[in-house]
Amino acid sequence: MSSAAPPPAEPEAGVTEIITVDQLDRAVEVLADGGLVAFPTETVYGLGADAESSAAVSAVFEAKGRPAGHPLIVHVASARQIDRWAVDIDDRARLLAAEFWPGPLTIILRRSDVVAPEAVGGRDTIGLRVPDHPATLELLNRFDGGLAGPSANRFGHVSPTAAQHVVDDLDGRVDLVLDGGPARVGLESTIVEVLDGPVTLLRPGGVSVEAIQALVGEPVVDGRDGQSRAAGMLASHYAPSAPVMVVAGHSEVELTDGDVVIASGLPEAEGLHRTISLGGDAASFAQGLYAALRQADAMGATRIVIVPPSTGPLLPAVLDRLLKASAPRP
Ligand code: TXA
Ligand code: MG
């Protein structure tokens, strides 16, 4: 008789607790014990662990099902922390931090030896960010450390923009979820590498390339081609269960019963197919996009047809995520 290895034990459901911003002390305690706390940010919810603890950071990779080589962003309380986590810091990085932190910008720098090597996937660089959410800033101050935190979703899935999304993906795999309300930006941070060469964009997000160029006074190089340096640079990512198709207008495609349409700036038209209507400009579309993708899955969509917005500074970030959500799955 052949005995197949038993499947790994699934964590117990219903054990992850959502706490409120009045219960920060409990979150601090869990983090200090090496546990995992999902935290709100203005972009998406993060899955936080003590960035100086190899064991805590390894638990993040396990909870997400994230391959070990993919580095995590380290969240810190203020730009003053930059010198603790990074070395050889370029003036352009300091300018960017002073202007855009707290905010949706991650800066890749040469790392110091404070961070657990597992957090940065064994690299000699570190992605740093000060998130713009009052409860998480307070949490970081009280914890008095850095939080290694990827988006708090299963690897490859849609990022969470509400506390319940975290529980839907990671129940039993994370100790606490700090509920800070819906995410204001709704898409992950802009990532730029600021080392010796030109400022290089690794992922578009809530801070536009134009704003970065205006501040540093030099062109930003697009680093998204070439080798997959960021997990969000993998072809298929940010993906719901149903296949995604992006069209310029909903009349461009013949809709079938299983379809759910997510459309920018379309009034909830009478008689139109099952439609989730989002804002007309890229910023308001971005804010609702991930919740809409989750909702479409929950509606049993066999295909998600998306009509994207056409204006707004967040447009490159929106189109980037739609490209990945609609890419062929591995
Ligand atoms: O808005 C965000 O950035 C959210 C919130 C929670 O802060 N976080 C987030 O994390 O999106 P995650 O792990 O899902 O995506 C982080 C990206 C990955 O693509 C990772 O490869 C890249 O940042 N990254 C982190 N550290 C890096 C490094 N040292 N070099 C290159 N890429 C890095
Ligand atoms: Mg992610």
pLDDT values of the chain reduced to their tens digit, one per residue, 330 residues: 444 555 556 666 778 999 999 999 999 999 999 999 999 999 999 999 999 999 999 999 999 999 888 999 999 999 999 999 999 999 999 999 999 999 999 999 999 999 999 999 999 999 999 999 999 999 999 999 999 999 999 998 999 999 999 999 999 999 999 999 999 999 999 999 999 999 999 999 999 999 999 999 999 999 986 544 555 555 677 889 999 999 988 788 899 999 999 999 876 554 567 899 999 999 999 999 999 999 999 999 999 999 999 999 999 999 999 999 998 887
Q: Which atom of ligand 1 has the smallest separation from the CA of 66?
A: 13
Cα(327)–Cα(118) distance, rounded to whole angstroms? 29
Please state, in angstroms and as integers, the Cα–Cα distance from residue 56 to each residue in 37, 59, 61, 72, 167, following that order.
11, 5, 9, 12, 19
- pLDDT of amino acid 156: 87
Radius of gyration (Cα) for the chain, nearest Å? 20
5 C-alpha vs ligand 2 centroid, how far in Å?
30
- Identify whether 219 is preceded by a cis peptide bond (ω within 30 of 0): no
Cα(221)–Cα(24) distance, rounded to whole angstroms? 40
- pLDDT of amino acid 218: 97
149 C-alpha vs ligand 2 centroid, how far in Å?
9
75 C-alpha vs ligand 1 centroid, how far in Å?
10
230 C-alpha vs ligand 1 centroid, how far in Å?
7
Q: Is pTM beyond 0.85 here?
A: yes
Ligand 1 pocket test: which of 108, 166, 191 has the largest number of ligand atoms within 8 Å of its C-beta? 191
Ligand 1 pocket test: which of 41, 72, 74, 165 has the largest number of ligand atoms within 8 Å of its C-beta? 72
Backbone torsions φ then ψ of 225, nearest 5 degrees:
-80, 175
72 C-alpha vs ligand 1 centroid, how far in Å?
5
- pLDDT of amino acid 68: 87
Q: Which atom of ligand 1 has the smallest separation from the CA of 191?
A: 23
- pLDDT of amino acid 3: 47
- pLDDT of amino acid 330: 76
- pLDDT of amino acid 228: 45
In short, whether 277's Cβ falls inside 6 Å of ligand 1 is no
Judged by its nearest atom, the ligand closest to the C-alpha of residue 150 is: 1
